[in-house]
Amino acid sequence: MRAKPSRIAVTGLGLVSPLGDNVDAAWQRLMRGEGAVRRMSFEGLPDIAAASVDFDPATVLTKLQQVGTERVSQMALSAAARALEDAGLSEIGDGERVGLYVGTGLGGASTIDTGYAAMYGGTRVPPLTVPAGMVNGPAAVIAMHCGILGPVVTYAVACASSSVAIAEAAHALRRGEVDVAIAGGAEALLVRGTVAAWQALRTLAPPRADDVQGSCRPFSADRNGLVLGEGAAFLVLRREEDLAEAQREPHAWLVSSAVRCDAAHLTNPNVRGQVAALQAALRSAQLLPSDIGYCNAHGTATVAGDPVECEALRQVWGDSAARLHVSSTKAAHGHLLGGAGALEALLTVMALRRQEIPPTRGVHDLDPACTGLRHVLGEGVPASNLGFAVSNSFAFGGTNSTLVFARA
């Protein structure tokens, strides 16, 4: 008989986000319906609405250490260190039994931007451009500073990157490859070259003249694009049987995950692939759709994307769809691309831990194509019987990742 797979506990949470770097304070801002989106300017480009992070790298690195260490790596290190501290693992012990699983979409965007600007401007390209800008830079920096000697792996799967990283970390724990898994992601792409590329794609919401914080409006009838964000978030994961020795109580359980591909279009989402990911995650968790009380939706506020996700939820939940609480926290903190899945997973854990559901802020009139679900709008609501929740991350390239969490 096959042994029952280990339950995976979330024992540590850490973030550096547009809503702040304290988990509880960021959660309270989110529940109050506050947002972190503001107007940003870049030379030669139209202004954008974006959610940036007020971050001082001196909190984790000396001035000498900061040289050649990218902003994305600095924020990743800070968030991972906070998660380890929360898990009681400031000293991790046997580094060979600790694994690190990191998701990022672009890696060192500012380093790459600076390097290209120097080359085309006829000045000297910084000598550390390659190591600072490489996509596995955040994982390497965390490993070096925390003494992680086990598997250190980076996943670059566009907007699903850090959700996939968390899923793979849980698999590694169940296989016995590691005893502690640090999983999450980071993104820092608010630089001129990257912003210009996103503007060329014509998917960014312009800054709203009368309410810049309301520029990102997932599921709204008048939504007109996504808002970029930056930051980092990490979870510390342990097997249930190891918790007694560690003397830790879990924040929540990571029950299951699933990753499926649309195989349809590079940028346009497809209902088939999203339904497949949701159904596979529920099967793996041995749960019915009606068991799930909350979905932290991918909800980017693009015209094409939101109706597809809502249709996928309606198809999977069927008669239970009207009872499924749904919100997109991206309205408050922006879209962290490769780091989005980790931040939203952390917030889903907080929903279970606090028995509250965060809102989609800034929405007054739902798109008729997004109705049929129990959208939470404006401010958060209490949810005293919230037992299970899912977090969706649906990426360019068609990769769809769903994580299922349970109340501890």
The pLDDT tens digits of the residues spanning 332-387 come to 999 999 999 999 999 999 999 999 999 999 999 999 999 999 999 999 999 999 99
- Greatest Cα pair distance in the chain: 67
309 and 388, same domain (yes or no) = yes
Average pLDDT estimate for 173-177 = 97
Q: How confident is the model at residue 90 (pLDDT cuts 50, 70, 90)?
A: confident
**pLDDT tops 50 at residue 223:** yes
Q: How confident is the model at residue 247 (pLDDT cuts 50, 70, 90)?
A: confident
Q: How confident is the model at residue 2 (pLDDT cuts 50, 70, 90)?
A: very low
Q: Is the dihedral of CA 194, 196, 197, 199 positive or negative?
A: positive
Query: Which of 159, 295, 310, 370 does the annotation list as catalytic?
Result: 159
Is residue 35 domain-resident?
yes
Q: Is the dihedral of CA 112, 103, 237, 393 positive or negative?
A: positive
Is residue 3 domain-resident?
no
Average pLDDT estimate for 197-211 = 95
298 catalytic? Reply is yes
133 and 237, same domain (yes or no) = yes
Query: Which of 216, 251, 295, 298 does the annotation list as catalytic?
Result: 298
Question: Range of 320's domain?
Answer: 254-407
On whether the CB atoms of residues 331 and 218 are closer than 8 A, the answer is yes
Of 129-138, 219-228, 363-372, minimum mean pLDDT range:
129-138
On whether the CB atoms of residues 292 and 389 are closer than 8 A, the answer is yes
HSE-CB for 17 with a 13 A CA cutoff? 37
Domain closes at, from 196, 213, 246: 246
Q: How confident is the model at residue 4 (pLDDT cuts 50, 70, 90)?
A: low
Q: How confident is the model at residue 5 (pLDDT cuts 50, 70, 90)?
A: low
Is residue 392 domain-resident?
yes
Q: pLDDT value at position 1? A: 39
Average pLDDT estimate for 238-260 = 92
Would you say how long the chain is, in residues?
Answer: 408
Q: pLDDT value at position 245? A: 77
264 and 385, same domain (yes or no) = yes
| Percent of the chain with pLDDT strictly greater than 90 | 90
On whether the CB atoms of residues 138 and 156 are closer than 8 A, the answer is no
Which residues pair with residue 236 across a beta bridge? 12, 182
Q: How confident is the model at residue 6 (pLDDT cuts 50, 70, 90)?
A: confident
Average pLDDT estimate for 244-264 = 92
Domain closes at, from 207, 226, 246: 246
Domain count, the chain: 2
Is residue 398 domain-resident?
yes
Of 72-81, 91-100, 149-158, minimum mean pLDDT range:
91-100
Q: pLDDT value at position 118? A: 85
**pLDDT tops 60 at residue 276:** yes
pLDDT digit string (tens) for 15-36? 999 999 999 999 999 999 999 9
307 and 203, same domain (yes or no) = no
295 catalytic? Reply is no
Residue 22 structure tokens: 């304290």
Q: How confident is the model at residue 3 (pLDDT cuts 50, 70, 90)?
A: low
Q: pLDDT value at position 91? A: 84
On whether the CB atoms of residues 34 and 329 are closer than 8 A, the answer is no
145 catalytic? Reply is no
Query: Which of 251, 325, 335, 375 does the annotation list as catalytic?
Result: 335
22 and 152, same domain (yes or no) = yes
Which residues pair with residue 399 across a beta bridge? 261
31 and 121, same domain (yes or no) = yes
Average pLDDT, the chain: 95
Give 191's contacts (C-beta < 8 A, 6+ positions apart).
42, 109, 110, 113
> Per-residue DSSP letters for 229-278?
E-EEEEEEEEEGGGHHHHT---SEEEEEEEEEE--S-SSS--HHHHHHHH
Give 212's contacts (C-beta < 8 A, 6+ positions apart).
37, 38, 39, 49
- Alpha helix stretches (DSSP H) within 59-136: 63-66, 71-86, 109-121, 129-133
